[in-house]
Amino acid sequence: MRVYWEDTDAGGIVFYANYLKFFERSRTEWLRSLGIEQQRLKESTGGLFVVIDTRIRYHRPARLDDALIVTASLLETGGASMIIRQQALLKKEQNNSAGALLCEGTIRIGWVNAGSWQPARIPASILDRLKT
Amino acid sequence: MRVYWEDTDAGGIVFYANYLKFFERSRTEWLRSLGIEQQRLKESTGGLFVVIDTRIRYHRPARLDDALIVTASLLETGGASMIIRQQALLKKEQNNSAGALLCEGTIRIGWVNAGSWQPARIPASILDRLKT
Amino acid sequence: MRVYWEDTDAGGIVFYANYLKFFERSRTEWLRSLGIEQQRLKESTGGLFVVIDTRIRYHRPARLDDALIVTASLLETGGASMIIRQQALLKKEQNNSAGALLCEGTIRIGWVNAGSWQPARIPASILDRLKT
Amino acid sequence: MRVYWEDTDAGGIVFYANYLKFFERSRTEWLRSLGIEQQRLKESTGGLFVVIDTRIRYHRPARLDDALIVTASLLETGGASMIIRQQALLKKEQNNSAGALLCEGTIRIGWVNAGSWQPARIPASILDRLKT
């Protein structure tokens, strides 16, 4: 991902809330890579993922035009929620490898019915895909 | 309205897209003052307002901690769309009066069915309220 | 604060990252109420506050047109950082009192030099104001 | 570009202001492809691009998980400003070709000194690159 004007604030760096956008994009792409598309999921199951809690640590600022590598990996999964570990790292332009750690954290995700917003168990078909 | 960190970019000023957020907040409050609540409207009529086109001119930048006055007024209304004129002005801290013009423009709004996204005529009950 | 279209996502609720914007607005107003203006602070001291870590729990969703009460209070303060406790609650329209807890958490804030981004001690003049 | 949760609103579609973010990303990548990096430009010339006016037409909504193609092309250039034409189109998943036109418009960009925000002529070195 690239840092654009929209992501920065008057401090000259990425606004802290925007890392949650980067993390969400990364989770979405990770889910997509497992064959899980959230719009279709909502239409077919009537449910969707919601964030239950987040713990984020900010180490260094990112600036305009920086390239970032943002990761998502499954840390823990139960029937009602799962914990995803995420990192944002600076991408070294020379060799595209990961550089300094900018921001990291864990995100706990639950499952709710789209209409009632009642928590529910994550559908087995999704858990199966996550565990592969 | 106040300019917060979230509104600014690395240029030290309000990011240009964010004036559309300010304008949308102002339109929403203007509609609310006419007794039109959009969430309830969607539930009761199955329709909602959508933006059809925007013409915006940016005159001067706003900075962090600036206080703004944002206006909305009906310029023209037809059965299928209406044009709203909007301005963002700097608020003078001394006497709370409007100062320099920062940004202005017109927003054309139409009406669609929430499910199909097909354009439709603005309900008469809404037009009546707008014309008062 | 009011929930506008900009704050919501396709789930019909406030996007999780946007509570960090609400919290930031609330902190800014709390600091302003103590006589601390961040833009002036940057110009006069060459330093600014940055977020070091956040722990947020999401309890219930907020929807379009909801009115929110967002709080900020000082939980702990040291020379190099302070912890602020924040809550977002639904505002009851009948009597403007606080209703259901939507989201809460703690935000650790540090101080850095604006140019170098090196951490530094929070200026004594600011600590004095915070402790009053 | 992909439509993520952050881009959508409670109408289930991309929030209208967010196309200005997509357009800005596209302009930045177009400038980068011409060897113009805005952060470096600011450091080396003390100036930066600002948006002077925008005219945008919204044709159809984009939804969560849609893939978009966003274009930027130079329509007109003078010493003090340039006009860029931009489109957002739906990307057909089958063959990655451009589908329905979602949103289009023109953006007039000027050049200012970063400190004073006074308009200035676009540096000749940049105009040369734009004209190639």
Q: Residue C98's pLDDT is what? A: 84
Q: How far apart are CA D115 and CA D108, in angstroms?
A: 21
For the stretch C98-118, pLDDT in tens is 899 999 999 999 999 988 889
Chain A positions contacting chain B at CB under 8 Å are 5-6, 8-13, 15, 17, 63-64
Please answer yes or no on whether C64 and B21 come within 8 Å at the CB atom.
Answer: no
Provide the pLDDT for residue D39.
85
Nearest to B20 among D12, D20, D50 (CB): D20
Contacting chains of D (3 CB pairs or more, <8 Å) are A, B, C
Q: What does the pLDDT read at residue D22?
A: 97
Q: What's the predicted TM-score (pTM) here?
A: 0.93
pLDDT tens over chain D, length 132 residues: 999 999 999 988 999 999 999 999 999 999 999 999 888 888 888 899 999 999 999 999 999 999 999 999 999 998 889 999 999 999 988 888 889 999 999 999 999 998 888 999 999 889 888 887
According to the model, what pLDDT value does residue A95 have?
Answer: 83
Best B2, B3, B5 residue to mutate vs chain C (most C CBs within 10 Å): B5
Say which amino acid occupies A51.
Answer: V
The three-state secondary structure class of B30 is helix
Nearest to D66 by CA among A31, A40, C12: A40
| Burial of C114: CB neighbours in 10 Å, binned 0-12, 13-18, 19+ | middle
Cβ contacts below 8 Å, chain C against chain D, sum to 31
Q: Which residues of C touch D13 (CB under 8 A)?
A: 10
Choice among B9, B53, B65, B128 that is catalytic: B9
CA distance B111 to C1: 27
The residue of chain A nearest to residue D3, with distances taken between CA atoms, is A25
Answer yes or no: A66 catalytic.
no
Using an 8 Å Cβ cutoff, are A92 and A107 in contact? Answer: no
List the domains of chain B with CATH numbers.
5-130 (3.10.129.10)
The whole-chain average pLDDT of chain C stands at 92
CB C6, CB C22: distance < 8 Å:
no
Selecting from A21, A39, A54 the residue whose C-beta is nearest the C-beta of C54 gives A54
- Interface residues of chain C, partner chain D, Cβ below 8 Å: 5-6, 8-13, 15, 17, 63-64
Nearest CA in chain B to A12: B10
Contact D10 C15 (CB under 8 A): no
Q: Which residues of chain A neighbour B12 with C-beta distances below 8 Å?
A: 10, 12
- What whole-number distance in Å separates Cα of residue C74 and Cα of residue C78? 11
Q: Taking CB atoms and an 8 Å cutoff, what residues of chain A touch D39?
A: 63-65
Helix (H) or strand (E) holding B43: helix B38-45
Whether the per-residue pLDDT at A122 is higher than 80: the answer is yes
| pLDDT recorded at residue B132 | 73
* Nearby residues of C110 by Cβ (< 8 Å), 6 or more positions away: C49, C50, C51, C52, C80, C81, C119, C122
Cβ–Cβ below 8 Å for D16 and B51: yes
Which H or E run includes D115?
none
Mean pLDDT of chain A: 92
The CA distance from D23 to C18, in Å, is 22
Average pLDDT over residues A95-105: 92
Q: Which residues of B touch C (CB under 8 A)?
A: 2, 4-6, 21, 24-25, 28-29, 32, 37-40, 63-65
* Spatial separation of the C-alpha atoms in residues B34 and A1, rounded to whole Å: 43
Q: Tell me how far apart the alpha carbons of residues B52 and D59 are, in angstroms, rounded to a whole number.
A: 7
Q: Do B64 and C39 touch (CB under 8 A)?
A: yes
